[in-house]
Structure formats: C-alpha cells, structure tokens
C-alpha cells in the first residue's frame, strides 16, 4: 500500500479510531493508468467496488451466500488475490488497496475471468476494518509484503502494530488466521515480536520452523517473489490463529 502524502502527527487520544491517529503506513504514488486499468475503475468498479460510505457490511448479503471469507490488506497489483479467487470459487475474497492502477488492474482481470467472489475497497485499511467489517466474520486476513519502512525513524509507520493486530483479532472468527509474508528479515522479526506479545493468538508454526512457516501452497508465488528467489532473497511467512 503506497501514498506520497505526508502523515499528520498531531496529538490524538488513544481511544481515537486507528485511521485517525495521524500516522499512515502507506503513501500514494502517482502512476500512469493503462487502458485496461482505466476500464476496471470506470466499468467494473460499480459492480465490485465498495466504499466507506457503504457502512457496516452484511457479508452474507454482499456475496449472496454464506462462505469462508478472506480479506487481503494491500494487494498491490492484485496477481495473488486474483489467482486465489479463481482457484477457490467457494471462498469469498475482499481486497483493500489505495493504489489506483492496482485496483483498476484487479477489477479488469476479475471481470475478464468472470469472478463473482471478489469485492474491492480503495480505502484506508484501518478505516475499512473499523467501519465496514463486522466482528468475528473473517476466516483469514492476509498481509503480504507490506511496506517494511526499513529506517528506524519510520518504524512507527509499519502497519503491523499491536493496536492493528488487536483490531484484526476482533474481526476474525475464533480459529481464524492472520497470515503475513515479507521479504525483509528484520520486518519478519518485528512481526514475530509483535505477535508473540499479542493476546488471543497462537503461532501455527512447528517447533522446527518457529516462528515461521514454510510458504503454504495456497499462497500464490508472485512474479516479484519468484524473481527474488532466483536472486537468493528470502521470504518469511507467519500464520497466527485467533484462539480467544
């Protein structure tokens, strides 16, 4: 998730909604739109797009059925999410991304493949989770390759923070999972540290691999990740289950 606007840093009450506390984990970068991406935003958005103004969602009504529900925060250009939605037609997917070309590309591709089990927000993920997703309705929340904000002075901008993890916990079903992946080892360690101190979660890793898990087969290998693997770059997956 990306944004070149400067975050505000004024004082906020700790009880204020997360999306109003003045620190953004993303910057919106300008990008040239292709014809397909523009088509996705103009022609497909009215059918598959969602906004904060829609309010709290009845997910069964939204998808017209009761099914497992997966929400992905920051899907980038959407390759992984599209592949998952097509491979698992019996599961419903919600994607959140602020980058217009990525949203447009995902919508265009979803329409071309005739996918009906996918909906998209072009909004701040914190606001969507707080305002639109009901409690205990998600089976999985995916956070794949978020901005690592590697400089120490920017660590406060990392989306994976204790308050965010607690918000996710309230949206997951009991037994639901938070699945994260990163190609920055230092951020993987940060994720593990935050999660090990988060109440209500259990790490699903085995003792041999803890705190990480091998890349699950259900997480598609993106072109970016495949290129990194050829260059010897590591990728770390972490999956935590909500237990309470």
Q: Known catalytic residues?
A: 147
Residue 92, token pair as written in the block: 């419903």
Answer whether 191's CB lies under 8 Å from 182's CB: yes
Report how far residue 103's alpha carbon sits from residue 96's, in angstroms, rounded to the nearest whole number: 8
Pure H helices in 151-203: 162-171, 185-196
Are the C-beta atoms of residues 170 and 207 closer than 8 Å to each other? no
- Report the distance separating Cα 32 and Cα 23, nearest Å: 27
Cα four-point dihedral sign 99, 104, 110, 113: negative
CB atoms inside a 10 Å sphere around CB 33: 14
């Amino acid at each position: 998730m990306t944004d070149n606007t400067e975050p505000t840093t004024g004082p906020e009450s700790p009880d204020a909604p997360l999306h109003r506390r003045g620190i953004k984990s993303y910057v919106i970068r300008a990008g040239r739109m292709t014809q397909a991406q523009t088509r996705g935003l103009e022609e497909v958005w009215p059918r598959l797009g969602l906004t904060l103004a829609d309010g709290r969602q009845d997910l069964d009504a939204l998808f017209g059925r009761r099914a497992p529900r997966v929400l992905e925060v920051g899907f980038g250009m959407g390759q992984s999410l599209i592949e998952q939605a097509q491979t698992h037609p019996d599961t419903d997917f919600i994607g959140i991304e602020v980058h217009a070309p990525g949203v447009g590309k995902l919508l265009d591709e979803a329409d071309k493949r005739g996918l009906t089990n996918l909906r998209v927000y072009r909004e701040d993920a914190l606001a969507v989770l707080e305002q639109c997703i009901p409690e205990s309705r998600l089976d999985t929340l995916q956070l794949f390759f978020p901005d690592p904000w590697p400089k120490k002075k920017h660590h406060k901008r990392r989306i994976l923070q204790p308050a965010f993890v607690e918000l996710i916990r309230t949206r997951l079903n009991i037994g639901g999972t938070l699945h994260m992946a990163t190609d920055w080892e230092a951020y993987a360690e940060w994720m593990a540290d935050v999660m090990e101190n988060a109440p209500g979660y259990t790490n699903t890793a085995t003792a041999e691999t803890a705190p990480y898990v091998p890349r699950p087969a259900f997480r598609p290998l993106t072109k970016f990740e495949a290129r990194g693997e050829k260059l010897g770059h590591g990728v770390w997956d972490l999956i935590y289950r909500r237990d309470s």
